[in-house]
């Protein structure tokens, strides 16, 4: 199923790259498209080199907290934290050499535009001796996530979760939980669709792989958000 999703995203990306030449923004861009700036700063001349990045889903490395839970907020913070890398400067020509004294470039990613719906794909695997191993730690269920787009707070509410069951990376089973327009939850397991709730979903914390979050006004598209906001 994930392969299908990735294939769909690949096809979308190729369609989008074709459309870029005609300067059209398609529906997927408007709904799922996020823009980031990858910024590399030279340690010698402080030149900032900015590379724009575009993503339809955000791949996050899970950050495991001391209580053994994968914490989405901590995973976000670590994804957007500054790191030091080897690089070369277009302006002054300085290049990091493989010696201890050689200075590295500061690299960080800034959010430029957040999408209406944010798809987070948790990379729940690590390199194993023979094959990739699945990271089995449970994910702390977040019903609300506040992210920064410049100075603006963007409030996201949980809209769906896709769970991957099984301890293997290359096998297992996918189940989706979807928040419906009447705010109830549905569990979709192959052709079986049943009622669910957040308590049921919490029991699946060990299996969360894909998180779908919607901005406050996008929670129920087509309905005025005020009439459906919690009171």
Residues that bind Zn ion (CB under 5 A): 42, 44-45, 47, 89, 91-92, 94
Neighbours of 225 (CB within 10 A): 13
Distance CA 1, CA 174 (A): 7
Q: How far apart are the first and last CA of the chain?
A: 37
Helices marked H in the chain: 2-20, 27-32, 72-79, 198-202, 225-228
Nearer to Zn ion, 6 or 51 (CB): 51
Taking the least distance from each CB to Zn ion, the nearer of 92 and 203 is 92
Least distance CB 92 / Zn ion (angstroms):
3
| Least distance CB 87 / Zn ion (angstroms) | 10
And the tokens for 126? 């690590």
- In the complex with Zn ion, which residue's Cβ is closer, 90 or 195? 90
| Backbone dihedral region for residue 27 (phi beyond 0: left; psi -120 to 50: alpha; all else: beta) | alpha
Taking the complex as a whole, the smallest distance from the CB of residue 108 to Zn ion amounts, in Å, to: 17
Closer by beta carbon to Zn ion, 45 or else 198? 45
Minimum distance from residue 98 beta carbon to Zn ion (Å): 18
Taking the CB of residue 114, how many other CB atoms lie within 10 A of it?
21
- The per-residue DSSP string of 93-106 comes to --B--SSTTSPPEE
Q: How far is the CB of 102 from Zn ion (least distance, A)?
A: 13
Considering the complex, state which of residue 38 and residue 180 has its C-beta at the smaller distance from Zn ion.
38
Give the pair of three-digit tokens for residue 82.
Answer: 């500054």
Query: For residue 154, how far is the Cα from the chain centroid?
Result: 15
């Amino acid at each position: 199923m994930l392969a299908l999703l990735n294939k769909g995203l690949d096809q979308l990306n190729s369609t989008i790259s074709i459309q870029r030449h005609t300067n059209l923004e398609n529906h997927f861009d408007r709904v799922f498209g996020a823009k980031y700036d990858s910024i590399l700063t030279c340690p010698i001349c402080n030149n900032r080199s900015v590379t724009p990045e575009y993503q339809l889903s955000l791949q996050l490395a899970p950050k495991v907290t001391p209580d053994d839970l994968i914490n989405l907020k901590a995973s976000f913070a670590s994804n957007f934290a500054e790191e030091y890398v080897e690089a070369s400067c277009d302006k002054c020509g300085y290049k990091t050499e493989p010696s201890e004294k050689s200075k590295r470039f500061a690299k960080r990613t800034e959010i430029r535009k957040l999408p209406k719906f944010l798809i987070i794909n948790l990379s729940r695997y690590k390199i194993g001796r023979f094959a990739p191993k699945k990271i089995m730690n449970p994910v702390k269920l977040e019903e609300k996530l506040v992210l920064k787009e410049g100075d603006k707070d963007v409030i996201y509410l949980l809209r769906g979760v896709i769970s991957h069951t099984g301890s293997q990376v290359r096998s297992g089973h996918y189940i989706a939980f979807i928040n419906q327009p009447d705010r109830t939850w549905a569990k979709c397991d192959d052709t079986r669709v049943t009622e669910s709730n957040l308590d049921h979903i919490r029991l699946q914390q060990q299996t969360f792989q894909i998180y779908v979050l919607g901005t406050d006004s996008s929670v129920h598209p087509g309905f005025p958000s005020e009439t459906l906001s919690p009171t």
